[in-house]
Amino acid sequence: MNRIVEKRRGVFRITFLTFSITIAISSLLIILAMSLYPGGNFAGLDIDRFSLVYNGLCDMREVIAINGEPNLASSILVKMGITGISIATTFFFGALCFLFQRKRSTKYLSIIASLFGVAQGPLFAMIILLPASYEVHMTFVVLAPLFQYLAVILYTIVYLFDKGLPKVNVVSFLVLAITTIVFIIIVGIASGVGGNFHYITNRLGTNLFNFISIIIYIIQGLGLFFYLKKTTHMVPIEIT
């Protein structure tokens, strides 16, 4: 932790608490959007409502659902939810690197990790908000999670090097990093198999990964909020 965090402890506490609250509210909006989605998916299957197995969040973004029914409420809610998560994660990763400026071993790696974390927020928002061609849309679909994976894995390494943060933050990010690696491997295998297995693996895997990420993000924010609530920290000598 550096002097900026010590002097602005209250600001950082509010930032991390607001992050957790925003993530929680935004996830509820997305769940509500799922419950209101009339149905339809790009696999052409006749499935009512939102299916974790056959639908992705971007299926809900249009005011007319894939099955041709009106989808205004679900479209608005999913856009609000994704926008909230995108903004929250952008600020979270932007603030997180300030906690790791004491050691050279974590200072620069945390900055690199935060660059990926800050970038993934707007990229995820573009998946839902930007009316674009299929090629442009898929570019965001690939880049957004890739930047998120890199941010999570790099920050897990930073957490393991820095022993000062709460155990709940270290363990939860380690779980997310392991989940990320396993998910990437499974998707890679599924892409080689192809067909319905690839489609289902991408849809179901992405939906489950998103909800695991949401839970761990909430834990991260609350863990850092209570960590900064302590008043016994000494101001360390910064290494430049």
Residue 125 lies in a domain: yes
Residue 238 lies in a domain: no
* Contact by Cβ (8 Å): 81, 232: no
CB neighbours of 76 closer than 8 A, spacing ≥ 6? Answer: none
pLDDT digits (tens, 9 = 90+) for 159-203: 998 877 889 999 999 999 999 999 999 988 988 887 888 888 888
Transcribe 159-211 into DSSP letters.
HHH---S-HHHHHHHHHHHHHHHHHHHHHHHHHHH-HHHHHHHHHHHHHHHHH
pLDDT digits (tens, 9 = 90+) for 83-100: 999 999 999 999 999 988
Q: How many domains does the chain have?
A: 1
Residue 236 lies in a domain: no
Residue 200 lies in a domain: yes
Residue 39 lies in a domain: yes
pTM over 0.75: yes
Give exposure, 94-123, as e/b (b: 16+ Cβ within 10 Å): ebbbbbbbbbeebbebbeebbbbbbbbbbb
Residue 62 lies in a domain: yes
Helix (H, G, I), strand (E, B) or coil at 89: helix
Residue 194 lies in a domain: yes
Residue 240 lies in a domain: no
Domain membership of residue 16 as a residue range: 3-229
